[in-house]
């Protein structure tokens, strides 16, 4: 909605308007009244509405200019063309006062937001008064406001007229805040029509062929114009709507009398007959007709019930029924709440019991691994416990003993540590020896297994190939050779069978096996004792196992070996280990999502860990295993959890989240787990949070994290995400999951 505060003149009315202007010049008092502007601090209607808009017309101008449509033009031309030549000082002072009351349009540009406030001020106002008004409108202290014109700061004692601003002109000033962080400058009520200008320039015809530019302020009104209809062109289809004036509709005067229309007071009556569905007839005693009254009944009229009593009784019955129904509904609701409460308490009890059982199972498993270690992770746990015990003992010795006693105690501690390490080493050798036979048996069973697949009807089908038959023969032959408790004749039979089987191929390995078989046969012919032949028999089994693992002799094992490939394929997948100084396959080296590859193989890294730091990462493996299980359950296409390794989870837990829960600060690693920070997004190191297992369920029920958590906690979690983004952004494989490079750049800028 626009309101233009001037009237366009027709070309034929130019002479009449000039004569009226000359008549207005003859009356100085009328001129001064017409030039007088709105009161100080007047607001522009474009920002503050129609009620605060100053009235720019004066009674004197209305008396001198009869035509209402030419008031703005006459006032503007009179102010600009009149010559203020007054003889007395009093009249000159009055004229200057009137000139100061004239208004000018000031556009205030709020820095650095870019919002514009358009207001009309008297040019006699000082900068300090304008600041007072702007500080009140923007709700900020006066001391923080700074006004500047054309790039220079204006002083508070200067007025708009002293700054060179003419009446009825338009200028722009910049306003900034000296403390933008505490008191930013922004509009409390932003304008609704940002696309419409606040001031326009209108060309008014002054004479024939001569036009004059007039500055017109536009009023943005919130009043919506009514749709008055229109018409449509039949040929072109263009629609033309009837226009509405910008003036608000005039409200009708309330006379205090209720007025009703004639149609609401008229009653329409209709008459309609209704016939009963059943016809009844009666018979009475008359002349020539006697009706017996033996079976007649005397009916006595009862109490008359009025309509109010009838409706009251029905209302009472309805209220009684409603009370019973509401009682039944309340009982049902209470029973449902009790059932839900019982179910929820049972669920909480089950969760607590499950958590306790899971924790007890972890402790039981950890105790069993201490007492009966079988895997490398179990021995790492023993060495970790040993290092923890040694550190505690050393701290106690350093805190209680001094001098020679301390040295003696430390030497004794070193001896105890050596004995424990030797005991762990001996136990590890025994476990590896016991597990060796099991590993070999499993390998032979896999190599000799037939091809299996499931048919359409669900039956399991098996098929033996020539490679399967060859692998099965070698497996049976190895089982016979590894038997040391058979008699001498059977042993000779097994050795001859083995010799005939392997001599089909000619190579150094086959020649060594045949040489050892001949040596054992020769020793057995000399009646050598059985226990003296154990070493020789083990060498034969070892060489024959090497023979079985060679794909040239047993093609089936090519799919089971980790390293066997063509030399051309292994050219770019072999790396040098700086620990054992060997060239190994890439699978023997550790890898992590950070993109860096270790220069030591897994065996050298494990030996270095046993000798130096003695860290134990089984707890991080359990955290990673739980994370992969949860993410696979939520989304089967989850990728990032399966790219991370144990070292990455350890870095994320220790360095980023400080090995404690984000909510209660618990440091029990066996009770911690990773969860999504925002459930709508996939899990990633920059969209996760470390919580206790009891807290993960409560966190998954949060729909909006900005309403559930405080702003300080959210910012702290986002800072952790930025640390993880910087660490994992070094790997090219993880870059495509970072949400493009722009987000990463913004995160780096925030950290800086």
Q: Across the strands, what pairs with 147?
A: 175
* Domain boundary pick from 517, 535, 561: 561
Same domain, 365 and 386: no
211 CB-near residues (< 8 Å, 6+ apart): 203, 204, 205
Same domain, 358 and 427: no
**Percent of the chain whose pLDDT exceeds 90:** 21
Phi-psi region of 131 (alpha: psi -120 to 50; beta: other; left: phi over 0): alpha
| Residues 732, 643: Cα–Cα separation, whole Å | 12
Same domain, 171 and 201: yes
Same domain, 358 and 467: no
Same domain, 744 and 625: yes
Distance between terminal CA atoms of the chain?
A: 48
Q: State mean pLDDT over 594-605.
A: 75
The structure tokens listed for 528 are 């050598």
297-335 pLDDT, tens digit per residue, is 888 888 899 999 999 999 999 999 999 999 999 999 999
151-173 pLDDT, tens digit per residue, is 788 888 888 888 888 887 778 88
Q: What is the DSSP string of 58-116?
A: -HHHHHH---GGGHHHHHHHHHHH-----SSHHHHHHHHHHHHH-EEEEEEEETTT--E
Same domain, 430 and 487: no
Q: How many domains does the chain have?
A: 5
Query: For the chain, what is the mean pLDDT?
Result: 78
What confidence tier does 693 reach under pLDDT thresholds 50, 70, 90? confident
| 285 within domain boundaries | no
Q: State mean pLDDT over 26-35.
A: 35
* Domain boundary pick from 324, 344, 372: 372
What confidence tier does 567 reach under pLDDT thresholds 50, 70, 90? low
Same domain, 61 and 184: yes
Q: What is the DSSP string of 303-369?
A: ----HHHHHHHHHHHHHHHHHHHHHHHHHHHHHHHHHHHHHHHHHHHHHHHHHHHHHHHHHHHHHHH
CATH of the domain at 118: 3.10.20.90
70-129 pLDDT, tens digit per residue, is 333 333 343 343 333 434 455 555 666 667 777 788 888 887 777 778 777 888 888 888
* Pick from 586, 680, 685: nearest CA to 635: 680
Same domain, 188 and 83: yes
Whether pLDDT at 747 is above 70: no
Q: State mean pLDDT over 371-399.
A: 89
| 320 within domain boundaries | no
| 112 within domain boundaries | yes
| Residues 618, 624: Cα–Cα separation, whole Å | 10
| Residues 23, 31: Cα–Cα separation, whole Å | 10
| 281 within domain boundaries | no
| 293 within domain boundaries | no
Overall pTM > 0.75:
no
| 29 within domain boundaries | yes
In this predicted model, which residue has the larger pLDDT, 58 or 494? 494
What confidence tier does 749 reach under pLDDT thresholds 50, 70, 90? very low
> In this structure, are strands 589-591 and 597-601 parallel, antiparallel, or unpaired?
antiparallel
* Domain boundary pick from 414, 444, 474: 444
Q: What is the CA radius of gyration of the chain?
A: 51
358-368 pLDDT, tens digit per residue, is 888 888 888 88
| 126 within domain boundaries | yes
| Residues 481, 475: Cα–Cα separation, whole Å | 10
Whether pLDDT at 584 is above 50: yes
Same domain, 393 and 491: no
| 587 within domain boundaries | no
37 CB-near residues (< 8 Å, 6+ apart): 54, 56, 101, 102, 103, 120, 122, 167
pLDDT at position 92, please? Answer: 56
Same domain, 366 and 389: no
Q: What is the extent of the structural domain holding 339? A: 332-372
Q: How many helices, marked H, and strands, marked E, lie in the chain? A: 24, 17
What confidence tier does 691 reach under pLDDT thresholds 50, 70, 90? very high
Same domain, 683 and 700: yes
Phi, psi of 325 (to 5 degrees): -65, -45
38 secondary structure, DSSP code: P
Q: Does residue 602 contact residue 371 with C-beta atoms inside 8 Å?
A: no
* Pick from 230, 221, 213, 114: nearest CA to 172: 114
pLDDT at position 77, please? Answer: 40
| Residues 339, 402: Cα–Cα separation, whole Å | 68
CB atoms within 10 A of CB 595: 15
Same domain, 37 and 173: yes
pLDDT at position 332, please? Answer: 96
The structure tokens listed for 296 are 């007649």
Q: Does residue 614 contact residue 387 with C-beta atoms inside 8 Å?
A: yes
210-220 pLDDT, tens digit per residue, is 887 777 766 66
């Amino acid at each position: 909605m626009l309101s233009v505060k001037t009237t366009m003149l027709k070309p034929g009315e130019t002479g009449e308007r000039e004569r009226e202007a000359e008549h207005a010049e003859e009356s100085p008092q009328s001129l001064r009244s017409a030039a007088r502007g709105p009161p100080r601090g007047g607001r522009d209607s474009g920002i503050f509405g129609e009620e605060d808009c100053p009235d720019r017309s004066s009674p004197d101008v209305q008396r001198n200019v009869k035509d209402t449509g030419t008031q703005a033009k006459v006032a503007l031309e009179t102010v600009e063309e009149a010559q203020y030549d007054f003889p007395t000082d009093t009249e000159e002072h009055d004229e200057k006062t009137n000139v100061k009351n004239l208004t000018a349009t000031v556009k205030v540009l709020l820095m650095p937001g870019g919002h514009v406030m358009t207001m009309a001020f008297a040019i006699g106002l000082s900068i300090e008064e304008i600041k007072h008004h702007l500080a009140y409108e923007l709700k900020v202290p006066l001391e923080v406001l700074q006004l500047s014109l054309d790039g220079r700061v204006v002083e508070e004692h200067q007025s708009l007229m002293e700054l060179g601003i003419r009446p009825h002109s338009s200028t722009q000033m910049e306003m900034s805040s000296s403390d933008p962080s505490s008191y930013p400058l922004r509009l409390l009520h932003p304008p609704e029509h940002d696309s419409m200008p606040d001031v326009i320039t209108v060309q008014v015809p002054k004479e024939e062929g001569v036009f004059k530019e007039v500055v017109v302020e536009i009023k943005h009104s919130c009043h919506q114009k009514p749709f008055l209809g229109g018409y449509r062109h039949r040929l072109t289809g263009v629609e033309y709507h009837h226009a509405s004036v910008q003036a608000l509709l005039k409200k009708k005067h309330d006379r205090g009398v209720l007025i009703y229309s004639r149609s609401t007071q008229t009653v329409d009556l209709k008459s309609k007959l209704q016939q009963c569905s059943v016809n009844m007839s009666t018979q009475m005693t008359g002349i020539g007709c006697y009706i017996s009254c033996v079976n007649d009944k005397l009916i006595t009229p009862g109490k008359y019930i009025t309509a109010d009593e009838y409706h009251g009784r029905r209302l009472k019955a309805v209220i009684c029924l409603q009370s019973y129904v509401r009682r039944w509904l309340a009982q049902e609701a209470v029973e449902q709440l009790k059932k839900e409460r019982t179910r929820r308490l049972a669920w909480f009890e089950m969760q607590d019991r499950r958590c306790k059982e899971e924790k007890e199972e972890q402790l039981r498993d950890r105790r069993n691994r201490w007492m009966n270690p079988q895997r490398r992770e179990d021995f790492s746990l023993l060495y970790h416990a040993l290092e923890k015990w040694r550190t505690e003992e050393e701290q106690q010795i350093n805190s209680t003993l001094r001098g020679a006693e301390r040295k003696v105690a430390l030497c004794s501690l070193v001896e105890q540590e050596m004995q424990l390490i030797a005991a762990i080493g001996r136990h590890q050798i025994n476990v590896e020896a016991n597990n060796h036979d099991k590993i070999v048996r499993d390998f032979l069973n896999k190599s000799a297994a037939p091809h299996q697949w499931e048919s359409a009807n669900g039956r399991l089908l098996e098929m033996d190939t020539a490679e399967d038959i060859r692998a099965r023969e070698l497996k049976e032959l190895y089982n016979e050779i590894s038997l040391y408790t058979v008699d001498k004749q059977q042993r000779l039979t097994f050795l001859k069978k083995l010799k005939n089987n392997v001599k089909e191929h000619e190579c150094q390995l086959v020649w060594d096996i045949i040489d050892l078989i001949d040596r054992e046969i020769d020793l057995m012919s000399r009646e050598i004792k059985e226990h003296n032949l154990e070493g020789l028999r083990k060498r034969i089994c070892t060489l024959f196992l090497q023979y079985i693992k060679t794909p040239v002799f047993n093609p089936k094992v090519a799919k089971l070996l980790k390293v066997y490939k063509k030399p051309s394929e292994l050219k770019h997948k072999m790396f040098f280990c700086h620990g054992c100084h060997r060239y190994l396959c890439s699978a023997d080296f550790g890898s992590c999502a950070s993109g860096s590859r270790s220069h030591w193989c897994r065996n050298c890294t494990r030996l270095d860990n046993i000798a130096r730091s003695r860290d134990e990462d089984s707890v991080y493996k359990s955290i990673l295993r739980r994370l992969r299980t949860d993410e696979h359950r939520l989304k089967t296409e989850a990728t990032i959890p399966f790219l991370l390794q144990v070292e990455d989870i350890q870095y994320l837990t220790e360095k980023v989240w400080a090995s404690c829960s984000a909510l209660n600060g618990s440091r029990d690693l066996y009770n911690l787990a990773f969860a999504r920070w925002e459930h709508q997004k996939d899990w990633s190191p920059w969209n996760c949070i470390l919580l206790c297992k009891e807290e993960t369920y409560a966190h998954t029920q949060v729909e909006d994290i900005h309403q559930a958590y405080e702003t300080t906690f959210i910012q702290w979690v986002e800072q952790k995400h930025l640390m993880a983004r910087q660490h994992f952004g070094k790997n090219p494989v993880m870059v495509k999951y970072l949400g493009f490079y722009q987000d990463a750049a913004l995160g780096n800028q925030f950290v800086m």
